[in-house]
Structure 1
Amino acid sequence: MKSAKRPSKTKPSPRIRRTPDEARVLILEAAKKLVREKPPDAIGLKDVAREAGVSHALVTHYFGTIDALIDASLESLAEANRQDLFARIQSSAGGGPRAWMEQYFAWVMRPEAARLLAWAYLTGKTARSDFFSRRTRGLKKTADLLEARFREELDVSREEIELALMLLLTSSFGYAIGKNGFWGGLGVDKPGPEQDAAFLESLADVIESLIERRRKK
């Protein structure tokens, strides 16, 4: 009597070898993708591991906790935007102050950026000394570059540059989070690019007029 044939074993998929930097980037990109779809509090390390196609243990090895991973995602987004902004400011075709205002506004308006910023604020992370913006002093680096690029050309002081940055970031952040409700209250049910452009144009006018008024004092 012939013995039953054993089912053939499927060969396991070859293990992909990645450098630590490659693995970290892969995990960060997966986390940022998930943040575009849902709030950070609804995301776990296992969700990120599944999205990245890696083990839960690997995600834990590099980031430890979901809070640390979300914080790193926000830092990654901010750093990428800062590098783009620096290149634009240093370029001869930078377009002046309004160009970097547009760059910052566009970044804050990205769903994942607004969601991560709101999460960081509501969880109290922005007040902590280890929050990435405090550690990296990225905004100070931006102010340094703006001062070097525009101080003589536009006759603006360091204080005025920092004021412009604060007005731009706080106003843009509030707009990104509340624009649907705010415009809805004004009767615009589906605010789009036209409303966004009008808001940015008005905000830039306000910032420039305030700086001009301070200069005349």
Structure 2
Amino acid sequence: MSSVVKSSPKAAENDENAGETSPAKPAAKRIRRTAEEARRLILDAAEERLARQGPEGLRLQDIARDVGISHPAILHHFESREGLVRALVGRANRQLRDTLLSALDGDGKGSDTAYHIGHVFEALSDRGTARLFSWLLLTGRANGKQPEHDVMHEIVDAIHARRKDLAMQQDQPAPDREDTLFIAMLTASAAFGEAIVGRQLAESAGLDQDGLVRFRLWFAKLVNDHLDNKN
């Protein structure tokens, strides 16, 4: 004798709906960006990771996640990680050049040495650019034939032109261009050094957190005193 199992109304309802599919979730709305805007956002994210983590932080998957795009999208714009690094270096050079040349050209601070040296330290140290340049040199990735590497010549020419103008206004002899070049090299070397080992040196010397700020001001005074003696 067979037994009959009665199913509950709820179970029957579930059986009837078993073949039905739940409504699909609406697809996320894609954000359309121009190629220029996409490249800028990718470089912004890469620069932020560079400042926080150094060159080892430039991982395409992480940068893609920061921007909200896919890994292949970065490859579409830069072809490879090396291509992204080259673009990042080129932009850093242009930003450094444009910032310093703009500072030299306007806002009444043409002779404010501390102001301009602060821009150099900010561009090379605070943004992580110096660590990237050093990494490129140490790994043999630097290419001295790139146009962006002419930035040093442009900056030295602009600084020297300003020094000559000031000397003329003060009825002083024109400064030597090599002296201007050496000042620029010394400033760049100090900024690079601070970016790479400055914090460790400050801590080992017993300086507090503001020690590097005071070092920048001291260095600016050192350069300014030299310029005053030369002019």
TM-score (norm 2): 0.78
Q: Which residue of 2 aligns with 1:204?
A: 220
- The counterpart of 1:147, out of the listed 128, 144, 160, is 160
Does residue 175 (structure 1) correspond to residue 194 (structure 2)? The answer is yes
SS at match of 2:206: coil
- The counterpart of 1:2, out of the listed 16, 31, 41, is 16
Asked if structure 1 preserves the Cα contact closer than 8 Å seen for 2:43 and 2:88, the reply is: yes
Task: Note the residue ranges of structure 2 that are not aligned, 5 or more in a row.
Answer: 1-14, 168-173
In structure 2, how many angstroms separate the alpha carbons of the residues matched to 1:41 and 1:145?
34
Alignment: residue pair count: 209
Distance 1:69 1:180, change over 3 A: same
Asked if structure 2 preserves the Cα contact closer than 8 Å seen for 1:167 and 1:207, the reply is: no
Q: Which residue of 2 aligns with 1:156?
A: 175
Distance 1:81 1:42, change over 3 A: closer
SS at match of 1:192: coil
In structure 1, how many angstroms separate the alpha carbons of the residues matched to 2:131 and 2:99?
21
Which amino acid letter does the alignment assign opposite residue 125 of structure 2?
M
Identity of aligned residues (%): 24
TM-score (norm 1): 0.82
Which amino acid letter does the alignment assign opposite residue 27 of structure 1?
I
SS at match of 2:16: coil
Deviations 1:117-140 (A, max 9, x none): 3322322334x2345642xx1121
Q: Which residue of 1 aligns with 2:68?
A: 53
- The counterpart of 1:192, out of the listed 209, 214, 227, is 209
Which amino acid letter does the alignment assign opposite residue 123 of structure 1?
T
Distance 1:156 1:113, change over 3 A: same
Asked if structure 2 preserves the Cα contact closer than 8 Å seen for 1:114 and 1:177, the reply is: yes
Deviations 1:70-121 (A, max 9, x none): 2322332332233222222111421515021221122223052233233223
Deviations 1:165-187 (A, max 9, x none): 10100122112221222223323
Asked if structure 2 preserves the Cα contact closer than 8 Å seen for 1:27 and 1:48, the reply is: yes
Which amino acid letter does the alignment assign opposite residue 6 of structure 1?
T
- The counterpart of 2:59, out of the listed 40, 44, 57, is 44
Which amino acid letter does the alignment assign opposite residue 38 of structure 2?
A
Distance 1:97 1:121, change over 3 A: farther
Which amino acid letter does the alignment assign opposite residue 209 of structure 2?
G
Does residue 110 (structure 1) correspond to residue 129 (structure 2)? The answer is no
Asked if structure 1 preserves the Cα contact closer than 8 Å seen for 2:39 and 2:77, the reply is: yes
- The CA RMSD measured in Å over matched residues stands at 2.5
Which amino acid letter does the alignment assign opposite residue 159 of structure 1?
E
